[in-house]
Each structure stands twice: as C-alpha cells, then as structure tokens.
Structure 1
Amino acid sequence: MISLPQPNDLTSLVLRTDFTDDTAWEAVKAALRTSEGEDSATFVSDPKYMGVSLHELVDADNAASYEDRLTYLFLADATTMTDVERPLLALDLADEPGRTFRVPPRWYADVSTNLTIANMDFAEFANTMDRSDTYRGFDRD
C-alpha cells in the first residue's frame, strides 16, 4: 500500500499522478505560485503515484496514523496535464472520502487557503460546482 506525503505547513498537497508531459507539470506549478513567488502548495512528483486511483488514495489516508491523516489533497492528473485550463482534481479525504471537484489555478489559492486553515469545508466548494464539476468561484453568473 502507498503512503501519502505530508504537505509543508500552511500549504496543500499537490500530487502529480500523470507523467506524460514535464512541460505541463512545470506550467501547473508556475500557475499555482503566488504573485510574490511563494508556494501555497507542496508539490510531489514521484512516479510511485503514477496512475494511482482515488480509492487507493482514500485507503492510504485511512491507513495513516491519526496525526498523519489529510483532510483533502489536489491531484495533477491526465486532465490537468492536457486541458488548457490546467484544472486540478480536489479530493476529499475526510468528510465524504472520494468526493471530487475540479479547480483551475485561478481559484486554487482561495480553495487551498480556506481548506488549509479550516475556514471552510470541502463540501462548501464542491456544492458550487458548475455542470463540468468545476469550481469557478462563488460569484459567477
């Protein structure tokens, strides 16, 4: 069974699961960096996570000790690498394990920050998805 890496303090885990395009991965990382050049993500690019299923990630989190469990993470999967918008897949690991939604880099910081400090929960974002299962902010028309 795989184990999940821990994100750095006050960042979210962004786990790469697709290794077909290194240039796309670099573009994803660049898009998630703040304007000050700081990372709001702990980027993990390890081939042992290539093609890992959502079920495997949920199981890995459940197998972790209580203090090492995550409540959510973001995946840079095949869709992230091929879609021009580069949407990450957000994965709930706590309240509704396995629930997902997409989040383009434009809204990543809002989602990541609020989940990291437990200001909002996963469902609050997931419940506002559009028809493509993508979160695009609360103030969309």
Structure 2
Amino acid sequence: MRPIINRAGHDYETEALVVRTDHSDDEAWRAVVELVDQPDGEFEIRSHFVDDPAFIGASPDEVALSTVAADPALEVVFIADAATMRGDHTLLAISTRPEVLDEGDEELGCTFRLLATLVNEVHVNLAIGHLDFWEYAYAAARDPEAVLRW
C-alpha cells in the first residue's frame, strides 16, 4: 500500500498535485518541475510536487487512492511517470471522480496525457467546474499522439 499524500496546507482549487512515480532521471524531473511552474500571465502558478520514492512504479489507481484519502475535493492528479521523463515531458492526468456519461456517449476513460505547461490551467479549470475532465480527455484523444496541447 502506498502512503497517503498529505495535502494539509494546500489548496485543492489553486494547487495542482504532481506525483513522481519514475525516479530514473533527476535532470528530466527538474525540467518537468520547471515546465509545470512556468509563469502564466493569466494565473498564479502554485503546484504541490510529491517526490517520494514510496511512489516508484505506482499505478494511476494507487496514486488516486493515496490522494483522495486525504483530499476528497481534489478533481485531478498529475503523474510524472516514465513517459514524462523523455520527449515532450507529458504528464498523465487522472480523474479522481467517476465520469458520468449520457447514454450513447463514447467512453473516454479517466486518464489523458498533457504538456507539462498546461497542468495548472487544467487543474484550475477542473477545480472551479469551468470544464469537465471528459472535455480535456476528448481534446487529447483528437491529437495524433493523444496529448492535450492547447
């Protein structure tokens, strides 16, 4: 069992949670942190990074369970996995909520990949209910590499 992620003192609406599950490349991790924290003229960037070896190899479900146990209001968790540590440094977004679809809607799943620079924008929009997770998942699914890039 993975440890519970302590979110005490962190705001679920304004602080994106990024959990590192791959520790193979510290330089790539530093690049990911820098990209996630890249200033955005529209939003204040505040992120909560979990860089704990206890999460090495953790599955998305394990990370989600470790998160909602301490912060049930959180809508999304971002995972820095092996794929994140190479190429464009895309992170895996995981919904902590079951998606409710109307009959006949296509099942998109509860994960999608996105550019690190979009983490905070996606997090805030989900936290305030401006957009739903499935809308981001749909946009990512339309990309040839299945990555949210807007």
Give distance in 2, aligned partners of 1:26 and 1:15.
13
Structure 2 residue corresponding to 1:122, chosen from 133, 137, 143: 133
1:117: Cα distance to partner?
2.3
For normalisation by structure 2, the TM-score amounts to: 0.76
Greater Cα offset, 18-27 or 101-110: 101-110
Question: Unpaired segments of 5 or more residues in structure 1?
Answer: none
The structure showing larger relative contact order (alpha-carbon pairs under 8 Å, at least 6 residues apart) is 2
Which consecutive segments of 4 or more residues in structure 1 shift more than 4 A? none
1:34–1:40 CA contact under 8 A, matched in 2: no
Q: Residue type matched to 2:47 in 1?
A: A
How many aligned positions are there? 131
SS at match of 2:124: helix
TM-score by length of 1: 0.80
Identity %, equivalent residues:
37
Report how far residue 56 of structure 1 moved: 2.1
CA deviation digits over 1:64-105, x for unaligned, max 9? 26xx2232100000000022x110110111024x61111112
Write the deviation string for residues 48-67 of structure 1: whole angstroms up to 9, x where unpaired: 000001232344456x26xx
* Gapped regions of structure 2 (runs ≥ 5): 100-108
Q: Distance in 2 between matches of 1:32 and 1:59?
A: 23
- In the alignment, which residue of structure 2 is the partner of 1:71? 75
- State the Cα distance separating 1:41 from its structure 2 match: 1.4
CA distance in 2, matches of 1:134, 1:120: 17
Distance in 2 (alpha carbons) for counterparts of 1:121 and 1:113: 11
Deviation of the 1:132 alpha carbon: 2.0
Paired residue for 2:52? 46
Q: In 2, Cα distance between the equivalents of 1:108 and 1:56?
A: 20
CA–CA distance in 1 between the matches of 2:116 and 2:60? 21
Partner of 1:80: 84
